[in-house]
Chains A and B, each alone.
Chain A
Amino acid sequence: MNKLLLITLTLASTLFATEIPTAKVEVHKFNKSVELNAQVIQLSNAQQSITSLVAGHLEKYYVKPAQKVAEGQKVALIESIIVSKMSANYLALKKQLGAVSKNYTATKELYEKGMTSMQELNNQEIKKSEINAQLTALESQLDTLGIDAASLKKATANFILRAHSSGVVSALLKPLHSSVNVSDAILSIVKNQAYYVKSFLPIEYATKVNVGDKIVVKYAQKNIITHITQILPTVDEVTQRVVVLSSVDEKIENLFLGTYLKSTVYFGDALEHMAVKKSALSFFNNEWVVFVPKMEEEHHEAEAGHDEHSDEKHEDEDHDEHGEEAGHDDHEEGEGEHHEEHEAAYTLTVVKIIAEDEDYVAVEGLDLNAEYVSDKSYYVKSMILKGSLGGHGH
């Protein structure tokens, strides 16, 4: 116990005035990521245009652009001669059917009484079926247009367009009171939850991403997580970059199409490497190095520290001053020895950087759990370079 105390004391006093922190080489997960430019887009199937089924005259929009609509909600009113014809026809046919039905019933009674021929009865039945068929056809046509035939009391020209799905009205395509033809798009509705992020990747990253990788975009101070759904096979002609689409999973309010965003692509699974803190790196003789404390010196220094420790007991100095004194004593012992100690305190290991993130770098050249100087490597480098100058002087 006592000895341990001695060793720590000596280390603190004989090293430098500045304390050099150390750490052990550890395994660190590296999430390789890259920042890119991206744009919010919507795939073409996510946009629906509502087309008129009939030709006619655009009377009224029930919605405004950017208005949210629910499925089946009325969006526009079109007055159509066709609809009015159809409804009038329907009503007329319905009357005819009533009349024909009466005729038929009367003829049947007569036939049953034998007052008329079978042929007459059949004629009446054909007539009734014909009208009935016409009526059913018309009814289904009206139904297609969203008009309830059963409740139709009088002829109408109004054709009401309804939203097919819920979403936001993105544009009104026809001016009011204009004539519309069949299959003219009247307005468009953008479906909810169909946003995509289009990221532009340099080729070198494009080869590394996979469908399913995460892309995080920053939008209005909020991180939106998306996942890659598609990597387009052709490079974007303008930017010379590979385009990657990722779908926005969550429901985002006020996400505007065409917005450019900053996106961060995270590649695949995190790689695990042996890593040191970035603050440990130092560039030395054209190579990256990490400084490693030399362990053998400790014992020798501990001995030297023994005397000083007892000195301290006598004089009861504060720790800081003791530190200086220790350094002083060392010096008196002889210049050569002094040098050795300083130069031997640390050695350097050349490392190869293979990956890095904000705080850590993955390196080759160090063993796991090896102790290294984790910060203030500058001071250690200074010591070593100064040592090679050859003299300390007074």
Chain B
Amino acid sequence: MLEKLIELSLRNKVLVLVLFAVISAFGFKAYQEIPVDAFPDITPKQVVIYTESPGNSAEDIEKLITYPIESAVSGMAGVKLIMSNSIFGLSYVSIFFEDDMDIYFLRQLVSERLGSVDIPNGWGQPQLGPNTTGLGQVFWYQVKDSTGKYSLQEIRELQEYIVTPLFKSVPGVEEVIGWGGDEKQYNVLIDTKQLQNFGITYSDIVDALQKSNQAAGGQYLEFNREQYLIRGAGLYKTLDDIRNTVVKSAQGQSITIGDVAVVETGSAPRFGSISIDGSEAVMGMVLQRTATNAAKVVERIKEKIETVNSTLPDGVTIETIYDRTEITHKAVSTMTSALTSGVILVAIVLFLFLFELRSAFIVILSLPLSLLIAFLMMDYYNLSANLMSLSGLAIAVGMIVDGTIVIVENSFRKLHDNPDGDKFTIVYDAAREVATPVTFAVLIIAAVFIPLLSLEGLAGKLYSPMALNIVFVMLGSLLVALILVPVLILLLLKPTGSGENAVMKAIKKGYTPLLMFALNNAKKMLLSVSVIFLILAYVLTQQGREFMPELNEESIMYRVIAIPGTALTQSTETAGEVEKYILKNYPDSVESVLSMIGRSEKGETAQGNYMEVLLTLKPNIENLEELTNEMNEDLEHHFTYVQFVPTQPIAMRIEELLEGVKAELAVKIYGDDQKILDSISKDIQNAISDVDGLERMEVESQLGQAQIKITPDYLALARYGIRVDEVMDIIRNGIGEEPISEKIEGIRRFGIVAKVKDAKKDVESIKKVTLRSKSGALVTLDQICKVEILQGAAFIKRENLSRYMVLSMEVDGRDVASFVEEADRLIKEKVNMPTGYYIGWAGDFKNMKEATEKLMVIIPITIMLVILLLYTAFNSLGKAMIILLNVPFGFIGGIIALVVSGIYLSVSAIVGFLAIFAIAILNGIVLVSFIDELRVKFPHVALKTLLKDATLLRLRPVLMTAFTTLFGILPLLYASGVGSEIQYPLAVVITGGIISSTLLTLLILPSTYLLFYKNEHLCEDDVR
């Protein structure tokens, strides 16, 4: 079949050339259109339901909102995990689905279910979170007023009503979130003590306000054949309209709002703030819709900024704070520069080996062509160009040319040996001879990376684009090698005078004695190599493990955590101090500091004690790592009352995606009673505090939120004739400032709040809030309610309908796996778990563990598959085994490189080992197939001599494939840009692996072959 393909393409030269020209053109188009992103989309399929329930406590929200939602969605198809967080004022339920389901369909299903959720009136409306990914925050900006004329409230208003709609109209933008400043509301300040004066109650006022702010349509009337629409325009226009609202009329006299209350402009209670360089500010975040191109979205937003700026008042502008495309471009350029330098290095190597321009040209040409085919396929399968997928290409650069090299080299040699023969036949023969091994080699390489595709969760999402791209580009290279290359050889290659250049001669001179020695001492060599391998394999099992090396985003960010219950004002103050401190002490490195305190008003679960501090660095920083460390220590010691957790923007989001645990490693303690959970977490902390490598422990203390609990006293209420709802209304609206109506100004809406005057001065003033019953009785809250202060829940986290608490930790100087093992044992020994309480490990580590377990199953299957392919190729199990034996040779170098450079065994390193696996097999196939070929040709030559000749003849292609792969990967080893650290382990392993694999292939493989087939008499069947 392959022969026919080669013959067919050789006969239709022009057609083949045109075909590839067209493919390249489309490939180039695809290359330009492929979405570019820093990371593959690693977000699990999830639908978020958030319910804003202003002013309500975590306990009540859990009971009345979260639990009903959880149980409504729990029976759905494809649900993997339901997590929720109930905090003050917000219920947040996150449903994780199987990855293969369609997000729009899932959102549809969830909203259907939400219809059946029964949430008490006035407790909020569940909403689906924005359809975005965890990395959806692509663009942050500040609405900056350089004139100083506008208050934060006004700037926030500009953000809400001018900037947001404009940005939202940009295609691909799902949501724009405003943060910082405060939102305007209209306060109707009522001194409830004075209601007696007018003989009205609080609810009379609320009623009056609600009923007066109305609009109505009165249909139309026809007059003189024309239609006149009738419109009742009763909405409040001015504050005087509110003041003149009638509350009660008696004997022709009216009591108006203005008589009983002061109407003024105020600000709504807020849950978050923004501080930039020591002063409060307003910012916005643009969320990108799922499955859109981040780079394009940001590009369009940037175009829109001009429009926005011209719409904003003079002096107010949009200033970029964070732009995802910067890191994206950096990451992609790291990879593309690695790719291009790889290509150049490979070209140089090829030229050095072949010393002939034409053949070098053919081989080099196959590189971009294969890449273009890969891009075409990426485009077809909607893969984005990102750190991971591009690195797949970079890894493969060296291997792409392998097939071509083998074919070109074979033709080159044959043309050289037989300069006068029919070129067509020679090329055909040359290509035909190696077609099968090349095809199988490529298929095997593809097969080797299959395990990566099977990975699930985060690892799968990260590494499958890489594996897919390797497969794509290898398939591309196969097409090029089998179809185009023979044509090009036929057209371009000419028999040359010398097939051997000086370099090759020198290498052969040194190599021959070594080979002879190896062949003569076959058994000993094999044995010693096996021993070395076994020792190294043991060393590898002792090597530390980690899930993913840290991505260096060239930025510094902190999560700053204060004690639970910290007021927003305090946190804002802290933020200001931190910012000023950093700016004062690091003026040379830091451009500006931004703190995001608490949460924006839309569905985030951070509270007032939490902030994220992002540093904008100056471009000329030399040693970022040193600066980061220095700053970490400095801040930690200067601001002793808060905790600093260093992180980076993308890393932080990824951490959050790890099942809601914002840490590398965490223990989740499950159970019902928060107090017991709290005490278990303390026990665990005590138990493992001395474990080696524990750098930091942090309990997400769920308790610690001081509450003022107002419980109605029914007897007292009965005494005064007051209903519970009247009490709750005054708590909700009067104290809690929930708007009772809205003043609509064009498209802008501002709450009208019937606020009890001076109710929130201190605890005592809450107790003294006065109510007037319908009958006229005047009572204070503490007369009819039990008012107590107690420590309640700051938030309540649940997972699959069970409460839990997180104890997160950071491990340094030790691999996480062994730490977990020791800590887990200690916990089991020392901590007494009450019935119904249990723990589970989570965080980064869990992913690593899952990935490892999966690979333990997949890798043997892959090996079986490779053996099957090899067996099919050679029709001999023995040869398949000989080739497979090559794999440990490669691993030897890989392991040594890993250990020497002190890198942990990460998924990235595992990918490196997979690549070595492929390379070793490729080397083996090339050699073994050639030996077989020679054995058929010269059946009577002694095996040893034959092996020696075959190996020497094959030295060039083996070295060439090895060196191209090596030099293809070298740029990754020396790359220093964003994202390079993720590829570093991989590059280290491959480099070591190639060296050992090539050396040992050239020495040990012939020896092994000799051992296997020494006594066997050759017959025709043996070689196909």
Residues of A bordering B, CB below 8 Å: 16-18, 34-37, 200, 202, 204, 238-241, 260, 262, 278, 283, 285-286, 288, 324, 327-328, 331, 342, 356, 378-379, 381-383, 385-386, 388-394
* Docked-complex contact B778 and A200, CB < 8 angstroms: yes
The residue in chain B whose Cβ has the minimal distance to the Cβ of A328 is B637
Q: Write the chain B residue with the least CB distance to A286.
A: B791
Interface residues of B in 670-693 (CB under 8 A from A): 682, 685, 689
Contacts of B197 in A (CB 8 A): 37, 260
In the complex, the chain A residue whose C-beta lies closest to that of B783 is A202
B134 to chain A, nearest CB (A): 26
B: which residues have CB within 8 A of A? 191, 193-194, 196-197, 562-563, 566, 570, 629, 632-634, 636-643, 682, 685, 689, 694-699, 701, 704, 706, 719-720, 762, 764, 768, 775-780, 783, 789-791, 810
Are A37 and B637 in touch, CB under 8 angstroms? no
CB-based contact B641/A386 at 8 Å:
yes
Q: Which residues of A contact B701 (CB under 8 A)?
A: 385
- Smallest CB separation, A21 vs chain B (Å): 15
Q: Report how far A385 CA is from B703 CA in the complex, Å.
A: 12
Least CB distance, A118 to chain B, in whole angstroms: 80
Given known pairs A390-B697, A391-B695, the reply for A238 and B775 (CB within 8 Å) is yes
Instruction: Point out the residues of chain B lying under 8 angstroms from A382, CB to CB.
Output: 562-563, 566, 640-642
A393 CB contact (under 8 Å) in B696, B768, B776, B783 = B696
> Using Cβ atoms and an 8 Å threshold, which residues of chain A touch B640?
16-17, 342, 382-383, 386
CA distance A382 to B563 in the complex (A): 6
| Residue on B nearest A327 in the bound complex, by CB | B637
Q: What are 10 inter-chain pairs, A to B, with CB distance below 8 A?
A: A18-B641, A202-B779, A240-B777, A260-B194, A260-B196, A262-B194, A324-B638, A382-B563, A382-B640, A386-B643
Query: A17-B639, A35-B768, A328-B637 are contacts. A389–B698 as well, Cβ < 8 Å?
Result: yes
Pick from A16, A202, A260, A331: contact of B780, CB under 8 Å: A202
* A3 CA / B191 CA spacing, docked (Å): 58
Q: Please name all residues of chain A whose beta carbon is closer than 8 Å to the beta carbon of B193 when the two chains form the complex.
A: 35-37, 262
| Whole-angstrom CA separation of A239 from B771 in the bound complex | 11
* Selected contact of A394 from candidates B629, B699, B720, B791, CB within 8 Å: B629
What A residues does B780 contact at CB under 8 A?
202
Does B196 lie within 8 Å of A200, measured CB to CB?
A: yes
A239-B776 in contact (CB<8A): yes
Partner of B706 from A17, A283, A356 at Cβ < 8 Å: A283
Closest 6 A-B residue pairs measured CB to CB?
A382-B641, A260-B197, A393-B696, A238-B776, A240-B777, A283-B706
User: Which applies to chain B's interface (DSSP): helix, strand, loop or mixed?
Assistant: mixed
A393 touches B641 (CB 8 A): no
Complex Cα distance A34/B193, Å?
Answer: 12
Q: Which residues of B contact A262 (CB under 8 A)?
A: 191, 193-194
> Cβ of A327 and Cβ of B641 under 8 Å apart?
no
B637 and A331: CB pair below 8 A?
yes
CB contacts (< 8 Å) of A331 on chain B: these are 633, 637
How far, in whole Å, are A285 and B790 apart by their CA atoms in the complex? 8
Which among B629, B699, B777 is the interface contact of A239 at CB below 8 angstroms? B777
Choice from B196, B634, B764, B789 contacting A356 with Cβ under 8 Å: B764
Question: How far apart are B189's CB and chain A's nearest CB, in angstroms?
Answer: 14
In the complex, what distance in Å separates the CA atom of A262 from the CA atom of B636? 51
Instruction: List, in ascending order, chain A residues with CB within 8 A of B196's CB.
Output: 37, 200, 239, 260
Complex CA–CA separation, A328 to B638 (angstroms): 9
> Whole-angstrom distance between the alpha carbons of A386 and B632 in the complex?
17
Q: Tell me, rounded to whole Å, the shortest Cβ–Cβ distance linking A262 to chain B.
A: 7
Q: What is the distance, in angstroms, from A68's C-beta to the closest C-beta of chain B?
A: 28
Residue of B whose beta carbon sits closest to that of A201: B778
- Complex: chain A residue closest to B685, CB-CB: A390
**Are B694's CB and A391's CB within 8 A?**
yes
**Distance between B689 CB and nearest chain A CB, rounded to angstroms:** 6
Bound-state CA distance A283–B567 (Å) is 13
A314 to B719, CA, bound (A): 77
Among A18, A240, A288, A381, contact of B720 (Cβ-Cβ < 8 Å): A240
> When the two chains form their complex, are residues B789 and A241 in contact, meaning their CB atoms are under 8 A apart?
no
Report the bound CA distance from A382 to B564 in whole Å: 9
Q: Is the CB of B634 within 8 A of A324?
A: yes
Whether A394 lies near B633 (C-beta < 8 A) is: yes
The minimal Cβ–Cβ distance linking B680 to chain A, given in whole angstroms, is 15
A283 touches B791 (CB 8 A): yes
Structural contact, B695 and A393, CB atoms closer than 8 A:
yes
Q: Nearest chain-B residue to A388 (Cβ)?
A: B682
A394 partner residues in chain B, CB cutoff 8 A: 629, 632-633, 636, 695
Beta-carbon contact of B778 and A17 below 8 Å: no
Min CB distance A199 to B, Å, is: 11
Q: Which of A37, A262, A327, A388 has the most CB of B within 10 A?
A: A37
In the complex, how many angstroms separate the beta carbon of A267 from the nearest chain B beta carbon?
15
| B contact residues around A238 at 8 Å (CB) | 775-777
CA distance A204 to B689 in the complex (A): 53
- List A contacts of B637 (CB < 8 A): 324, 327-328, 331
The complex places the Cα of A37 from the Cα of B697 at a distance, in Å, of: 55
List the A residue with the shortest CB-CB distance to B788: A286
Please judge, given known A-B contacts A200-B196, A390-B689, whether A379 and B641 are in contact too, CB under 8 Å: yes
Q: In the bound complex, how far is the Cα of B685 from the Cα of A238, in angstroms? A: 60
A389 and B790: CB pair below 8 A?
no
Residue of B with least CB distance to A238 = B776
Which residues of the partner chain B approach A286 to less than 8 Å between Cβ atoms? 790-791
Q: Who on chain A is nearest to B789 by CB?
A: A283
- Chain A contacts for B629, CB-based, 8 A: 394
Is the CB–CB distance between A383 and B641 below 8 Å?
yes
Verify A239–B694 contact, CB threshold 8 A.
Answer: no
Sample of 13 more A-B contacts, CB < 8 Å, known A202-B779, A381-B563: A34-B768, A36-B193, A202-B778, A202-B783, A238-B776, A239-B196, A260-B197, A262-B193, A356-B764, A382-B642, A383-B640, A385-B704, A391-B696
A202 to B689, CA, bound (A): 56
How far is A55 from B373 in the complex, measured between Cα atoms in Å?
A: 124
Name the A residues within 8 Å of B791 (CB-CB). 283, 285-286
Could you say which residues of chain B place their CB within 8 Å of the CB of A288?
A: 789
A241 to B701, CA, bound (A): 45
CA A200 to CA B129, docked complex, whole Å: 52
A16 vs B790: C-alpha distance in the bound complex, in angstroms? Answer: 29
In this complex, what residue of A is CB-closest to B584? Answer: A320
Cα–Cα distance between A37 and B772 once the two chains are bound (Å): 12
CB-CB under 8 A from B768, the residues of chain A are 34-35
Closest residue of chain B to A326 (Cβ to Cβ) is B637
* Chain A residues in 8 Å Cβ range of B563: 381-382, 385-386
Q: Point out the residues of chain A lying under 8 angstroms from B685, CB to CB.
A: 389-390
- In the complex the two chains form, is A392's CB within 8 Å of B194's CB? no
Q: Give bound CA distance, A382 to B776, whole Å.
A: 47
What is the CB-to-nearest-CB distance from A177 to chain B, in angstroms, rounded to a whole number?
A: 29
Q: Which residue of B lies closest to A378 (CB)?
A: B570
Task: Find out whether the CB atom of A391 lies under 8 angstroms from the CB atom of B636.
Answer: no
Is A389 touching B775 in the complex (CB atoms < 8 A)? no
Residues of B within 8 A of A239 (CB): 196, 776-778
Taking CB atoms, residues of chain A closer than 8 Å to B566 are: 378, 382
Contact B699 A393 (CB under 8 A): no
**Complexed CA–CA distance, A17 and B642 (Å):** 12
Could you say which residues of chain B place their CB within 8 Å of the CB of A383?
A: 640-641
Please name all residues of chain B whose beta carbon is closer than 8 Å to the beta carbon of A378 when the two chains form the complex.
Answer: 566, 570, 641
Q: Which residue of A lies closest to B780 (CB)?
A: A202
Instruction: List A contacts of B699 (CB < 8 A).
Output: 389
- CB nearest neighbor in B for A321: B585
CA distance A16 to B640 in the complex (A): 7
Which residue of chain B has the shortest Cβ distance to A288 in the bound complex?
A: B789
A288 to B763, CA, bound (A): 12
A382 to B191, CA, bound (A): 37
A241: chain B residues at CB < 8 Å are: 777-778
Q: Which single residue of chain A is at the shortest CB-CB distance from B191? A: A262
Contacts of B697 in A (CB 8 A): 389-391
Residues in B whose Cβ lies below 8 Å from that of A389 = 643, 685, 697-699
Among residues of A, the one whose C-beta sits closest to the C-beta of B639 is A17
Among B706, B762, B778, max chain A CB count under 10 A is at B778
Closest CB of chain B to A211's CB: distance in Å? Answer: 23
